[in-house]
Amino acid sequence: MTASPDSTPTRTARLEVRLTNDERALIQRAAAETGVDVSAFVVGRTLVEAQRVLADRERVVLPVADVAWWNELMNRPAQTLPGLQELFTRTSPWDTNE
Report pLDDT for 66: 95
Report whether pLDDT(44) > 90: yes
Q: Is 47 domain-assigned?
A: yes
Q: Is 21 domain-assigned?
A: yes
- Give the number of domains in the chain: 1
Q: Is 72 domain-assigned?
A: yes
Q: Is 7 domain-assigned?
A: no
Q: Which domain holds residue 53?
A: 17-77
Region of poorest pLDDT, from 46-55, 59-68, 88-97: 88-97
Q: Is 60 domain-assigned?
A: yes
Cβ neighbors of 18 (< 8 A, separation 6 or more) are none
Percentages helix, strand, coil for the chain (3-state, rounded to 5) are 55, 5, 40
Q: Is 88 domain-assigned?
A: no
pLDDT tens for each residue of 7-35 = 778 989 999 999 999 999 999 999 999 99
Report pLDDT for 59: 82
Q: Is 9 domain-assigned?
A: no
User: 0.75 exceeded by the pTM?
Assistant: no
∠ Cα 62 46 24 (to 5°): 145
Q: Is 6 domain-assigned?
A: no
